[in-house]
Structure formats: structure tokens, C-alpha cells
Structure 1
Amino acid sequence: MSRRLPPAPSGRAPVRGAAPGVVRIIGGRWRGTRLPVADVAGLRPTSDRVRETLFNWLMPALPGARVLDLFAGSGALGLEALSRGAAEAVLVERDPGAATALRGNVARLGAPARVVEADALRWLGSAESASMPAADIVFIDPPFAAGLWDGVLQALPARMAADAWLYVESPAGSEPAPPPGWQLHRELRTAQARAALYRGRGTGGADTLGAANPAP
């Protein structure tokens, strides 16, 4: 949902970011563009610091990638991926207000994205989802209180390329199990959350993003 990771922990300098109600694209062709975010309870874009770390990890994989952003919320992750070279994105968001705001931002940017207003788990089991090309990069950031990781992670493999990249945000101290065959590549832990990037084993060559290790 692109809104659960908190500001930097105490002891770190605060990260300059967008004002409340606004998400800022931090890299790529739309860098610096500020986009309105729907006033939805609990929805807050992922911090600039965390997004910058994530997209540094993903940089070699982004050009031409098909992206699936489940629990899209503000769209901060899916739109950032498109700004940095991804070919297309599907943004799944069940809240009507958030979905409407996403459509407006997609139109404003002229982004190659489609907004799907639907429950993510139900959509993954739908004929519409089954008819789509497999995703190369998937973002999962559901509402922390909803406990949706297990169901979504079990349903995902049929919608992902064998060597896809899978990004998962969850509460601190939790480690939702990735689908069988997906291995941890990088992770970032804060006082409130864990952000983890996984890679499918079905790659036909070397891992161009390097060996798995924690972010510095």
C-alpha cells in the first residue's frame, strides 16, 4: 500500500520529502513531481529514504519491466518504478478514494499504468489477472493490521515470472514466508517495519543485482 514504513529512526537526519497528502517521485523521468494522495485513514506513502534504497537495489531490473503493485495506496512504488524505466504497471487498490486519486495521477503523468479497483487477493484469483502477462517486479505492502501476507504470497507465483523480483513490507519482527523458490536478496529493518526484496530461482543467468546481504 506504499504507506507503512515510518520516518527515519531517531539518530538519523530527517529525510526531506513531500508534504502530508502529497507523494514525490524521487528519481527518473518524473523526478521531483509531486502528486496528491487521497485522504484515506492509515494511508501514508513510503518514506523517500526507503524508496531510494529499494530502487537502488532494483535499478538494473527496472528497464522494460512489467510491474504489479498490490495494495497500491498512494502509488508511490508503482509510479516510481515507471519513472525509472519500467514498461508498464498494474496498480491494485480496493479503496475507492485512493483508486480515484491513482487514476488522476496516472492520467497527469501519462503513465503506462492501469488502476484496478479491487481486493488484491480476490483479484489475484480472477480471470482478468490470469489473462495478464507475468509480472517481473511485484510490490506487496498491505495494511499491517489486516494480516494479508500469507494468502497473497501463496497466490502470487502464478502471476510472476520465474525470476521475478518480489518486494514485501511487514511489521518489525515479522518475516512473512516468501513463495517457495523465492530467496532473500536484500532487507532493510527499522524500528517499526521490515522491507525485504526476494528473487525467484528461475533465472537463466547470473544475479546482476549482487549477492544477498542487508542494506548498510
Structure 2
Amino acid sequence: MKRQAKKKSTVTGSIRVIAGQWRGRKLPVLDAQGLRPTTDRTKETLFNWLAPYIAGTRCLDAFAGSGGLGFESLSRHANHVTFVEYNKSAALQIEANCQLLKLNASQAQVINNDVLQHLNQPTEAYDLIFADPPFNKQLLPELIAKIEQQQLLAPNGLIYIESEISCAYSIPAQWQLLKQKQTKQVNYRLYQQGE
């Protein structure tokens, strides 16, 4: 009886940086289960929302996946992005893309870990958090609670949440909804932390 080979994640696609210093640059991404890079159209909408805020920020790309949101932020002059990705192959691909873009440790850090475990460690607050977890896993309520408990969102900081329509979550009272958009399947929301 033949043993079935375990399917490996392979580089089969790319993400495109929309604007900034790496405008038009394509970065390789893996074909890995559950990995769904944010579409160019959604990214364009999001970064139009973020345009007045992005330069000089310290960002967390939670559930980083392809790293597309973090790389777009760095292209638009964010100071630093922490990429947290559980899938080892995806995390290695983000590291490879950081090397391609010649990023140093003060600009980007890639952490291969479960984001909820990683956020138990003390860290400085972030100016911008991207929360785009795998769909149908009910990870948002726990992530939001962790961000609030650990005070991970800086005063006036922003958090972008992308979720399937059916995902129910509540937000802290001091988070103000700035922008939102909805498609047939996905909710996109941008909140700002009050003072």
C-alpha cells in the first residue's frame, strides 16, 4: 500500500503592492489552505481610508497570511510592521518577501506563532492593527478581547476588521466606527480607539 504524500504549500500566485515606494511590485504568495489574500479592490478601498493616518505608524498584521496588508503599509511609509502568522510556510514566505524588499529588523518582524498566544506577551501598543482572521473559526471575539485586555491599541489607534457576514462580535465602547463596507460575503470595518 502506497503512502499518500502530504500536500506541501507551494508558491503559485502573487500579491501586488498598489501604491507607495513599491507601487506595482508583485510579491510571491503560497497556495496554502485557508490563505485568502485581500483583493486589490478591497485593499485600495482600505488604504484610501487609511491615507491620512498610515505614515509613521507601528502596525500589527495579525493572521498575516500573505502579508499583503503589512507590505502595503510599509510601502506607504509605516515605520514598522509585526507580521504574525501561524502557518510556518506562509511565515517563511513573508520573511522571504521582507528580504526581497530589503527590510531590516527595525522595519519588519515576522513571528510564526498563534496570534492569540503571541499577544499574551507584553508589547508596546500599536497605531494600526489589521484583523483579518480565517473565516468560520470564530477567532475575532477572542482577538478583540485580547487587544482590549492587553491595551494593544494606542490612543487614537486604528483597527481594521475583515470578517464573513455571519461572524458576530462586539467591540469595546471606546472604539468608534469610522468606515464600513459590505459585499455579499464579507464585512470590512475600520474603527478608531477613543482617547
Instruction: Note whether the superposition's TM-score is higher than 0.5.
Output: yes
Structure 1 counterpart of 2:186: 193
Q: Deviations over 1:97-119 (max 9, x none)?
A: 10000000011112321001000
Unaligned stretches of 5+ residues in structure 1: 1-19, 203-216
- Kept in 2: contact 1:51–1:77 (CA 8 A): yes
- Kept in 2: contact 1:170–1:176 (CA 8 A): no
2:121 equivalent to 1:145: no
Q: Deviations over 1:76-103 (max 9, x none)?
A: 1011011011011000001001000000
Structure 2 counterpart of 1:164: 157
| Match of residue 102, structure 1, among 70, 94, 100 | 94
If asked which structure has higher relative contact order (CA below 8 Å, sep 6+), I would say 1
Structure 1 counterpart of 2:110: 115
Q: Deviations over 1:1-48 (max 9, x none)?
A: xxxxxxxxxxxxxxxxxxx61111011000111011122112121110
Unaligned stretches of 5+ residues in structure 2: 1-11
After the TM superposition, which segments of 4 or more aligned residues of structure 1 sit over 3 Å from their partners? none
Give the drift of 1:174: 3.6
- Kept in 2: contact 1:69–1:91 (CA 8 A): yes
- Kept in 2: contact 1:93–1:120 (CA 8 A): yes
- Which SS does the other structure have where 1:60 is aligned? coil
Q: Deviations over 1:138-167 (max 9, x none)?
A: 000111121100110011131120211000
Q: For 1:176 and 1:30, how far apart are their aligned partners in 2?
A: 35
Q: For 2:180 and 2:190, how far apart are their aligned partners in 1?
A: 6
Tell me which moved more, 49-58 or 172-181. Answer: 172-181
Task: Letter of the 2:172 partner, please give it.
Answer: P
Identity rate, percent? 41
2:18 equivalent to 1:22: no
Q: For 1:43 and 1:55, how far apart are their aligned partners in 2?
A: 21
Q: For 1:66 and 1:179, how far apart are their aligned partners in 2?
A: 21
Give the drift of 1:175: 4.6
Structure 1 counterpart of 2:74: 82
Q: Would you say how many aligned residue pairs link Structure 1 and Structure 2?
A: 179
Q: For 2:108 and 2:39, how far apart are their aligned partners in 1?
A: 22
Q: For 1:178 and 1:32, how far apart are their aligned partners in 2?
A: 35
Structure 2 counterpart of 1:65: 57
Q: Deviations over 1:39-74 (max 9, x none)?
A: 211212111010000000001111100000100000
Alpha-carbon RMSD across the aligned residues, in angstroms, is 1.2
Greater strand proportion: 2
Give the drift of 1:173: 4.3
Structure 2 counterpart of 1:180: 173
Task: Letter of the 1:183 partner, please give it.
Answer: Q
